[in-house]
Structure 1
Amino acid sequence: MTGGSPADDAALALLLEVAGTPKPGNVDRHRDLADLRFESFLAGAVGAREGLERAARGAAVGHAFERAVAGMADRAGTNTQFGCLLLLVPLLRATRTGDLSPDGLDRVTRATTVDDAVAFYRAFDRVDVAVGDPPEDATALDVRRGADTEPVLRERGLTLRDVMATSASAGDGLDRVPDRNAQEWVEGFPRTFRAAEWILADEGPLTDRAARAFLGLLGTEPDTLVATAHGPAAAREASAEARAVVSGADPTTDADPTTPPDGTPSDGTPPDADAVHGIDLDAAESLAASFLERGINPGTTADLTCAALYVALRRGAETSEAGASRNGSEAEP
C-alpha cells in the first residue's frame, strides 16, 4: 500500500482521531456527548476537505484555514474540529515545502501575514468556539470579536503568528493554562512530533495507538479546553488522572495533581514511549466514564492527537494491518 496525498492523510487523520477509543471525555466511536455526535465529526472531516486541499496546494494559511472551518461548519452544522484544522493547515503547508519538521513548521508560521490573522478571526464568525478571556492587555484581540477585530490587526500589523504568540503565553504569573495549540505554532509543534513518534513506534490498530497517544499527551500537560470550561485546577486534576492511567495506577485513588504516582512524569515532562505503548486501554474505560459524567472534555488534547496522526501517516504509518508501515524510503522526513 502506498501513501495518500497530503490532503488524503489530513482527512484520514481527522477520521482516525475521532474513531480512537477510549479518549476520555471526548467523542469517539463508542461515545457521544450531549451536544455532539460521532457522525458530526465524520461530516466535519468531509466538509473541511476543500480547505485542506487548498493548504496542500500552497494557499495562504489563513485563507485555507477559514475555508476548512467554513466547510466543516456547513457540513457538520456545528464546531467539530476547529482546533484540529488550526494545526493541520500549517502542517500541510510544511509538507508542501518538503520540510515536515519543527524547522519547517517554524518557517511556515513565521511567514504568516496580517491577512492570515484577519482570516483566522473571520473563522470565529462561522462557529461557536469555546475560548477563555484574553489577558488584560489583549482584550482588543479577543477572538470572540471575529471580523470586527480587523482594524486593530491592521493598525498594529499583527500576523497570525503574532496572535498565536499572545495566546501561547501563560500570563505574568497568573494561574492559567496556556493555549496548547498556540504553543505548537510558536514552538515548532513539539507535542505533535513527539506524539507522532509514539504512534509510529507503537503496534496495533492506528485507532488504539491514537488513544494511547492521547492519554500520554493529556498526562503530560493540562488541557486548554478543560481549563476554559472548568478552571485550571480541574484541568490539572484531569491531567493527573491521565498520568495515573499511563503509570498503570488507579486514577480514582492514585491521581494527585501535585504529586504524581511513583514512576509517572511530573507536570510538563512527557512519559517515555514504552510507558505510552504499555497503556491499558481497558483500564482507561473507567476514566472515560468518569470524565463523561463530570463533563470533562480534553478537546485540545484531541487536536494534538489529530496533528500527530497526520505526521505519523506522512512518515509511514499504515491502516492496512496492525503494526505495518510503509518502506522508509517512501516516508517523508
Structure 2
Amino acid sequence: MTRDGRRGEAADDPVDDATLALLLEVAGTPKPGNVDRRRDLDDLRFEAFLGGAVGARPGLERAARAADPGAPSVGDAFVRAVEGMAARAGTNTQFGCLLLLVPLVRAAADPDRELSPDALDAVCRATSVDDAVAFYRAFEAVDVAVDDPPPGADDLDVRRGSDAEPALRERRATLRDVLALSVDPTDPDRVADRNAAEWTEGFPRTFRAAEWILTDEGPLADRAARAFLGLLAAEPDTLVASTLGAEAAREASERAAALLGVDSEGPGGVGDVDAIPTDAVHGADLDTAESLAERFISEGINPGTTADLTCAALFVALRRGAEVAP
C-alpha cells in the first residue's frame, strides 16, 4: 500500500497521475464552452490536448525530482513542460493546467510530505526570482490570454517575456510574488485570477473539487465534468473575464449555478467553492449541461481557467485513490 492509500509502484508515480489528469480533463464532457471529446473549437481540437499532455511530460518529470540533489526548480520544470506542450500540440492547450500541476507534482513527489494544502503552500513559498524569470520565459512559447497588469506593475507585464527579467530581479519578485499580483485586483469590476489564487491560498479549489470527484460515482470523466460545473458555479472564470469581460464571466457562473440548482448569493456565482453543496455537484444533469455547452460555444464563452482547476482536482483525486478502472 502506498502512502496515498493505493497499491503498486506504478500507482504511486505522480508523473503518471499528472499525465492521466491532463487526458481525463479533456475527455470529460460536457464542460460547457471547452474542448472535450465531443467538441472542438474553431481553432483548437481535441487531439491537440492529447499531444499537449504527451509533450508536457518531460517537464512534469523534472517537477517530480523533488528529492534529487540539484533538482530542477519549479520554474525550470514549468517552462520545460510548456515548451514541450507547445512543440507537440502546436498551440497553447494546457498552460494553466501545468501552472497548477507542476507544484502539485513537486509536493506529491516529496517523500517527507503528504499531498496537502500545507505542502502546496510550502512549495509555492519556496519559489525564487529565478522561478519567476522562467515563468515569464514560458510566455514566449505560446500565446496566453491575460489581463493588463495592475497599476504600478507595467514592468511586470507577463507579455514582456524575458524582457521583464531586470524588473523581476530589481524587485526581487519570486514566482509566488508575481502571481499574488493577480489575486486581489484593485478594480472591483475585475475578476481575480483563480489559478494565481490557488498558488497563494494553498489550492483550496483544487482540494474541494477533488473531494467532489472522490465521493462521486461513475466514470472519472463524468465526475470531472460535474466537478467542472461546480467550480464554474462557485466563481467567475478568469479566461472568460480576460476575453469577454467581467460581466460575461459573472453571467456564465450564474448560468452554471442555475443548472446545479444553487442560488447565487451575489453577482457572479455563489462566491466561494466551499458554499457549493456536494449533492448539487453529484446531481448535476449532464444532459442539460450539453445544451449549455452548445450555447457557450456559440457565444464564444470558454471557461478555460475552470478546466485548469478541474485538471488539478483530478490529479489530487488520483493521488488519493480514484481509479479509471470500474
Runs of at least 4 residues off by over 3 Å: 255-260
- Aligned mates of 1:256, 1:304 — CA distance in 2: 20
Q: Secondary structure at the match of 1:135?
A: coil
2:104 corresponds to which residue? Answer: 91
1:295 aligns with 2:291: no
SS in 1 for 2:287: coil
- Are 1:74 and 2:87 counterparts? yes
> How many Å apart are 1:170 and its aligned residue?
2.3
Given that 2:233 and 2:253 are in contact with CA atoms closer than 8 Å, whether structure 1 keeps it comes out as: yes
Distance 2:92 2:151 in 1: 27
Structure 1 equivalent of residue 278 of structure 2: 273
Q: Kindly provide the CA deviation profile for residues 188-247 of structure 1, in whole angstroms up to 9, marking residues without a partner as x.
A: 000000000000000000000000000000000000000001100000000000001111
In the TM superposition, what is the alpha-carbon distance from 1:256 to its structure 2 partner? 7.7
Report 1:308-319 matches (<5 A).
308-319=313-324
- Tell me if the contact between 1:236 and 1:257 (Cα under 8 Å) persists in the aligned partners: no
Corresponding residue for residue 331 of structure 1: none
Residues 257, 264 of structure 2: 8 Å contact kept: no
Relative distance call for 1:91 and 1:259 in structure 2 (3 A) is closer
Counterpart CA distance in 1 for 2:264 and 2:119 is 38
1:154 Cα deviation after fit: 0.7
CA contact (8 A) 2:233 2:270 kept: no
1:18 to 5, 23, 26: 26
Q: Is the 8 A contact 1:239 1:257 kept in 2?
A: no
Amino acid at match of 1:240: E
Q: Is the 8 A contact 2:55 2:86 kept in 1?
A: yes
Q: Residue 124 of structure 1 corresponds to which residue in structure 2?
A: 139
Counterpart Cα distance in 1 of 2:188 and 2:255: 23
User: What's the counterpart of residue 304 of structure 1?
Assistant: 309
Deviation at 1:259, TM superposition (A): 6.7
Partner of 1:48: helix, strand, or coil? helix
Please report how far the alpha carbon of residue 258 of structure 1 lies from its aligned counterpart in structure 2 after TM superposition.
4.4
Aligned to 1:138: 153
**Aligned to 1:72, what secondary structure does the other structure show?**
helix
Whether the aligned pair in 1 keeps the contact of 2:210 and 2:317 (CA below 8 Å) is yes
> Partners of 1:149 and 1:222 in 2: how far apart?
29
| Mean CA deviation greater in 53-62 or 81-90 | 53-62
Q: Which amino acid aligns with 1:305?
A: T
SS of residue matched to 2:312 = helix
What does residue 251 of structure 1 align with?
Answer: none
> C-alpha displacement at 1:96, in angstroms?
1.9
Q: Is the 8 A contact 2:83 2:138 kept in 1?
A: yes
Any residues of structure 2 matched to 1:318-329 within 5 Å, and which? 318-321=323-326
Q: How many residues align?
A: 310
Counterpart of 1:90 in structure 2: which amino acid?
A: P
Using the alignment, how far apart are the partners of 2:84 and 2:270 within structure 1?
40
Amino acid at match of 2:60: L
Find the aligned partners of 1:226 and 1:297 in 2 and give their Cα distance.
6
Paired residues of 1:241 and 1:256 also in contact (CA < 8 A):
no
**Structure 1 residue 257, shift from structure 2 partner:** 9.0
Instruction: Report what 1:330 is aligned to.
Output: none
Compute the displacement of 1:174 (Å): 2.8
Tell me, yes or no, if structure 1 residue 188 matches structure 2 residue 202: yes
Which of the numbers 184, 195, 207 marks the counterpart of 2:221?
Answer: 207
Task: Read off the aligned partner of 1:135 and give its amino acid letter.
Answer: P
**Please, which runs of 5 or more residues in structure 2 have no aligned partner?**
1-6, 67-71
Look up the SS of the partner of 1:218 in the other structure. Answer: helix
Q: Which runs of 5+ in 1 are unaligned?
A: 249-254, 322-333
Letter in 1 for 2:253: S
Partners of 1:256 and 1:202 lie apart in 2 by 23
Tell me the TM-score normalized by structure 2.
0.92
Identity %: 70
C-alpha separation between the residues in 2 aligned to 1:259 and 1:192? 23
Q: Choose the corresponding residue for 2:289, options 284, 290, 294.
A: 284
Q: Deviations over 1:39-59 (max 9, x none)?
A: 000000000000001101122
Residue of structure 1 in register with 2:4 after alignment: none
Q: Tell me if the contact between 2:227 and 2:281 (Cα under 8 Å) persists in the aligned partners.
A: yes
Which of residues 191, 209, 220 in structure 2 aligns to 1:177?
191
The offset of 1:134, in angstroms, is: 1.0
Match of 2:3 in 1: none
Cα deviations by residue, 1:68-105 (Å, 9 ceiling, x for unpaired): 00000000000000000000000011112232111000
- For 1:220 and 1:170, the matched residues in 2 are separated by 18
* CA distance in structure 1 between the partners assigned to 2:270 and 2:57 by the alignment: 38
